[in-house]
Amino acid sequence: MRFARVLLCIFLSVSQLAVLVPRTYAAPSANVVIAQMYPGSTAGATQEFVELYNNAVTDVNVTNWCVSYISSTGGTTTKLGCLTAPDSQTKLWIKAGGYATFVSNEYKAAFNVSSDVSFAGGMSATAGHVKLTDSSNAEIDRLGWGSAASPEGTSTTAPSAGKSLQRKVNPAGLQDTDNNVNDFSTATPTLHVSSVYEVVTVIDLCPNIPDAQPTVPKGYAIDASGSCQPDSCLNIDGLQTSVPDRYDADAAGNCMQHDECDNLSGIQTDIPDNMIRSGSNDCAWDIVPLQITEVLPNAVGSDTGNEFIEVYNPTNRMINLSMYSVAVGTNQEKTYAFPIGSTIGPGEYRSFSDSAMKFTLVNTSSRVVLHAIDGSSLGDTGTYNSPAEGESWAFINGEWQYTNQPTPGTENQLSVEEDTPVDVTDSGLATCPAGKYRNPLTNRCRTIVEDAAILAACDEGQYRNPETGRCRKIDTTSLTACKDGQYRSEETNRCRNIVTASTQKPCNDNQFRSETTNRCHNLPVSTVPDAAYALQPVKQGVMAFVGWSALGGAGVLAAGYAGWEWRRDLVALWRRVTHRLS
């Protein structure tokens, strides 16, 4: 019997743990509450209204507060309407102890009443919800009736036909315990007169300007401190307290990018490369008066790759030749650009071959003209006629003339008079030695290259390199044989030891021998990956602490009660034990 009592005590203690776990309630309603809901009558099911009531002792701003109807299951939400102000400067307030009314169009037509908000009827009389939200869409109050799935607390009984659900009255005003079943009862519907009123607020957007400015004045913009400042560029987003760099303002207050070159299409924020200011706001090409100084139409031997055109830079500046070109032909039939990236330094003569520029200078009669990118002509060779082989057409001492001293890339030189060749047979000159011949131009003896190329034979054991013409030693010796236990490497030609199993030192237990390098390497160490769902420590929350505390308290109570019930038996047991020990 005593044991049963102990078990009963433990059971009662543990059963009270549920009381220690806090319940979740909806947040307490604000001062404004849902006061009445009328879902219509049998004569007019859509003749409906919802009333709000200000339970506070002060007026409340209810601008943009809304009332919604939610189906009994919570699956459908219909916004009945909102308390909307006519403009941004107007706010809607509800007086202390006053009402705001949301009335269906059908009810208004039947009873000729006014309201703050009108809506199309359609609420269910048997079950549903009505929800009140503020301007931030936060829920303020909720009413659920019938089988409503999400009421405030417990849903109240659905109203009978022709009746409304009204909030109960207590000495402090309308009752609001956050439990629908306690706060509402069925009553005869009564629509109250609205107590909502408008308050117009004068907004001054420019406190730094005299008189209130409900809008930003034209030509102004608001700065970071909230003051209105004149905007120097009305067509650019944001406040421009001054005209930005590289912009120009017109008379209308608009700003456009400054154009450095009015005479060029498009906006030139900077003067383009290779151009200079030529007028008040115009740009022109920066043309330097280069000169064309020499051409070689009829080179000695083949013309291809040997013809050239020479240009001279008389200034102290480095010039980019991309702004220049040459025209070739009696009537300048073909134009050629200089190679990409070509420049000419200060005081430099620079020649360009027909291979570099792909031009052709005919040997009969032609002309070369140097042009700038602006179309101007800077140099003209005039027409040359049938120059002799090896003669260039050059500008020397202020005039164009032929010279037998071509000087590509250097200052031009006058022709040099050459001696008349002497007939060797009649000159009476001594015969040139063996291996030589007499030059018909200079009348001098010159070595015959073909005969002189017969070089002395190489020494025994050597050969003549056909590329260098030098004697090299013939390697007729063989390599010394490798020792026993060695072999000759095909790559290095050196002797290397032959490694055999008998000469190999065994690897350690945790190593293996590589077949490629014949060296010992450490065996890989395997690791066990973490389990996909490793055990995690249990996190103790506040409620766990409360529960364990309660369970511990219950255990202490149970133990105390058991000790009291079995106190005589425990005393007797203690005496027997101490007697035996003594």
Write out pLDDT tens, residues 73-116. 999 999 999 999 998 889 999 999 999 999 999 999 999 999 99
Can you say whether residue 435 is alpha, beta or left, with left for phi > 0 and alpha for psi between -120 and 50 degrees? left
Question: What is the reported pLDDT for 528?
Answer: 41
Of 111 and 439, the one with more pLDDT: 111
Two tokens at 364?
Answer: 């009969």
Structure tokens at 503: 């000469």
Give the Cα separation of 551 and 557 in Å (integer): 10
Q: Residue ranges per domain, the chain?
A: 32-200, 291-403
pLDDT band at 68 (very low <50, low <70, confident <90, very high): very high
Mean pLDDT of 57-74: 96
Distance of CA 472 to the CA centre of its chain: 67
In this prediction, residue 64 has a pLDDT band, given cuts at 50, 70 and 90, of: very high
Distances (CA, A) of 370 to 322, 324, 327: 12, 7, 7
Q: State the DSSP H helix or E strand holding residue 550, giving kind and residue range, or none if neither.
A: helix 542-565
Q: Is the pLDDT of residue 15 over 50?
A: no
pLDDT of residue 464: 66
Q: Are 260 and 279 in contact (CB under 8 A)?
A: no
Among 483, 522, 486, 516, smallest CA distance to 503 is for 486
Residue 365, H or E segment: strand 365-366
Cα distance from N-terminal residue to C-terminal residue, the chain: 34
For residue 130, the model assigns a pLDDT of: 98
Q: What are phi and psi of 571, to 5 degrees?
A: -65, -45
The pLDDT, as a whole number, for residue 17 is 41
Rounded mean pLDDT, 185-194:
95
**What is the C-alpha separation between 111 and 114, in angstroms, rounded?**
9
| Proportion of the chain above pLDDT 70, given as a percent | 74
Q: Which residue has the higher pLDDT, 447 or 247?
A: 247
Above 90 in pLDDT, residue 367?
Answer: yes
Residue with tokens 């308050």: 199
Given a cut of 80, whether residue 147 has pLDDT beyond it is yes
Cα radius of gyration (the chain): 56
Model confidence at 277: pLDDT above 60:
yes
pLDDT in tens, 290-341: 999 999 999 998 889 899 999 999 999 899 998 899 999 999 999 999 999 9
**291-403 matches 32-200 in CATH topology:** yes
Q: Are strands 308-312 and 343-344 parallel, antiparallel or unpaired?
A: unpaired
pLDDT at 4: 52
* Other beta carbons within 10 Å of 521: 11
SS3 (DSSP) at 565: helix
Query: Distance between CA atoms of 352 and 33, rounded to whole angstroms?
Result: 97
Higher local confidence (pLDDT), 140 or 41: 140
The confidence score (pLDDT) of residue 414 equals: 93
pLDDT at 321: 92
Looking at the predicted structure, is the pLDDT value of residue 285 above 50?
yes
Give the Cα separation of 22 and 539 in Å (integer).
19
> Percent of the chain, pLDDT > 90?
45
> Residue 544 — pLDDT band, cuts 50, 70, 90?
very low
385 neighbors 362 (Cβ within 8 angstroms): no
- In the predicted model, what is the mean pLDDT of the chain? 81
C-alpha to C-alpha distance for 176 and 185, rounded to whole angstroms: 13
Q: With CA atoms as reference, report the closest residue to 99 among 178, 200, 199, 190.
A: 190
Q: If pLDDT is split at 50, 70 and 90, which confidence band does 132 have? A: very high
Beta-ladder partners of 467: none
pLDDT digits (tens, 9 = 90+) for 224-272: 888 899 988 988 888 888 888 888 888 888 888 888 887 788 787 788 8
**Distance (Å, rounded) from C-alpha 100 to C-alpha 114?**
11
**pLDDT tens readout for residues 510-543:** 776 666 556 676 765 444 444 443 434 444 444 4
Paired strand residues for 68: 79, 131
Quote the tokens at residue 156.
């109240």
Query: What's residue 224's pLDDT?
Result: 86
Would you state the pLDDT for residue 533?
37
Average of per-residue pLDDT across 159-175: 93
User: What is residue 423's predicted lDDT score, i.e. its pLDDT?
Assistant: 52
32-200: CATH, from 3.40.50.620, 3.40.50.700, 2.60.40.1260, 1.10.230.10: 2.60.40.1260
Name the CATH topology of 291-403: Immunoglobulin-like (2.60.40)
- 545 pLDDT exceeds 80? no
- pLDDT value of residue 278: 79
- What gap in Å lies between CA 573 and CA 563, rounded to an integer? 13
Q: Which residue from 131, 99, 129 is spatially nearest to 115, judged by alpha carbons?
A: 99
Residues with Cβ < 8 Å from 275, sequence gap 6 or more?
261, 283, 284, 285, 286
